[in-house]
Amino acid sequence: MTLCGWVNRRRDLGSLIFIDMRDREGIVQVFFDPDRADALKLASELRNEFCIQVTGTVRARDEKNINRDMATGEIEVLASSLTIINRADVLPLDSNHVNTEEARLKYRYLDLRRPEMAQRLKTRAKITSLVRRFMDDHGFLDIETPMLTKATPEGARDYLVPSRVHKGKFYALPQSPQLFKQLLMMSGFDRYYQIVKCFRDEDLRADRQPEFTQIDVETSFMTAPQVREVMEALVRHLWLEVKGVDLGDFPVMTFAEAERRYGSDKPDLRNPMELTDVADLLKSVEFAVFAGAGERSERPCCRSTCSGWRIADP
């Protein structure tokens, strides 16, 4: 068989040389012995991150040499030929140590070689594939919408692209496909989705980026409960297929209930503390702030911070 990839680690034992060879699927051990002198000599020049091609024979390892920590720990490749595709100088990133975020971003192509980063991209690709299959199975059409369009009044500023043909004119990159998907509804495409890039020129925050990808959905004739049912089924499907976690049915509450119990329209349900209406307890209180509690639209509430505790009598 023939393998292509990068040298992850090299161990030189003199008459034998072992390398851990890495590609996006993982790591496999390759060894060079004196019976293939040309390959062994060339292998002595290998260093970390050399890009190489190896042809050899796959065989089972001896029982004592099995590495249970590797997915390929029960086999190894006996190399018969070696080609160095590209040599590597001393790298600005050290795969065996923690690198600064600045260095990782500057040399992103090296950072993405790390198994952790490669796995994230593979997971993202799997999620994208699962989303497309799920939406297709539920009768949605994947329809692309234009990237070069006119400015629309949305929640942020537009990114503008000068037009070469029309002097002094500009295109705007879409903040969302909102107008186009509404036109699709008018055209009879009653179930549309798209995994689409959006662009918004706004200040950076934890949940704000100038360029991001979203699952964009629009439907006609579906009720709000039906939309929730499909979207919840999608989320449950993704968690089960990607992480093996069964989320079960989502809890449902009205806006009024969320405000009454948590004082927020997006409560963190991991927090067991809920608000308690104390209007009835304050009816006889003379303190002006609470006078007439319960007679106005506002109702006083409190939250217990220590379950099971009580203030001792003085």
Residue 38 lies in a domain: yes
Are residue 239 and residue 134 in the same domain, yes or no?
Answer: yes
3-state secondary structure 51-86: EEEEEEEEEECCHHHCCCCCCCCCEEEEEEEEEEEE
Question: 171-186 in b/e burial notation, b at 16+ Cβ within 10 A?
Answer: bbbbbbbeebbeebee
By residue range, what is the domain housing residue 226? Answer: 119-243
Q: What is the pLDDT of residue 308?
A: 53
Give the mean model confidence (pLDDT) for residues 117-135.
97
Predicted local distance difference test score (pLDDT) of residue 176: 94
pLDDT (mean) for 103-111: 93
Pick from 207, 198, 89: nearest CA to 146? 198
Q: Are strands 141-142 and 51-60 parallel, antiparallel or unpaired?
A: unpaired
Residue 91 is assigned to a structural domain of this protein: no
Name the more confident of 291 and 160: 160
* Residue 314: pLDDT over 80: no
In a domain? residue 112: no
**Residue 283 lies inside a defined structural domain of this protein:** yes
Mean pLDDT of 186-208: 93
Co-location of 79 and 188 in the same domain: no
pLDDT value for 82: 96
Q: Do 57 and 158 belong together in one domain?
A: no
Share the mean pLDDT of the chain: 90
Q: With cut-offs at 50, 70 and 90, classify the pLDDT of residue 200.
A: very high
**Which of the listed residues 61, 86, 111 is the one where a domain comes to its end?**
86
Tell me whether residue 81 is in a domain.
yes
CATH code: domain of residue 16: 2.40.50.140
**Residue 123 sits in the same domain as residue 238:** yes
Domain end call among 86, 104, 139:
86
18 in a structural domain:
yes
Is the same domain home to 216 and 279? no
Count: domains in the chain: 3
Neighbours of 96 (CB within 10 A): 6
pLDDT at residue 292, rounded to an integer: 62
User: Do 73 and 177 share a domain, yes or no?
Assistant: no
pLDDT tops 60 at residue 103: yes
Question: Two tokens at 100?
Answer: 């600064």
CB 49, CB 6: distance < 8 Å: yes
In a domain, 101, yes or no: no
Least confident piece of the model among 50-54, 69-73, 94-98, 103-107: 94-98
32-91 confidence digits (pLDDT tens): 999 999 999 999 999 999 999 999 999 999 888 899 988 999 999 999 999 999 999 988
* pLDDT higher than threshold 90 for residue 199: yes
CB 159 within 8 A of CB 172: yes
Least confident of 67-76, 103-112, 217-226, 272-281: 272-281
pLDDT of 202 strictly over 60? yes
> Which pLDDT value is given to residue 293?
59
Share of the chain above pLDDT 70, in %: 92
What's the pLDDT tens digit per position in 140-161?
999 999 999 998 888 889 999 9
- 96 in a structural domain: no
CA separation for the pair 84, 149 (Å, rounded): 48
pLDDT of residue 295: 62
- Looking up residue 179, the CATH number of its domain turns out to be 3.30.930.10
Instruction: Tell me, yes or no, whether 127 and 230 share the same domain.
Output: yes
Q: What is the per-residue pLDDT for 15?
A: 87
Q: Are residues 82 and 54 in the same domain?
A: yes
Same-domain status, 68 and 175: no
Query: Is 90 exceeded by the pLDDT of residue 180?
Result: yes
User: Per mean pLDDT, which range of 119-128, 172-181, 273-282, 295-304 is the poorest?
Assistant: 295-304
Question: 221-270, pLDDT tens digit by residue?
Answer: 999 999 999 999 999 999 999 999 999 999 999 999 999 899 899 999 88
Among residues 215, 243, 271, the one where a domain terminates is 243
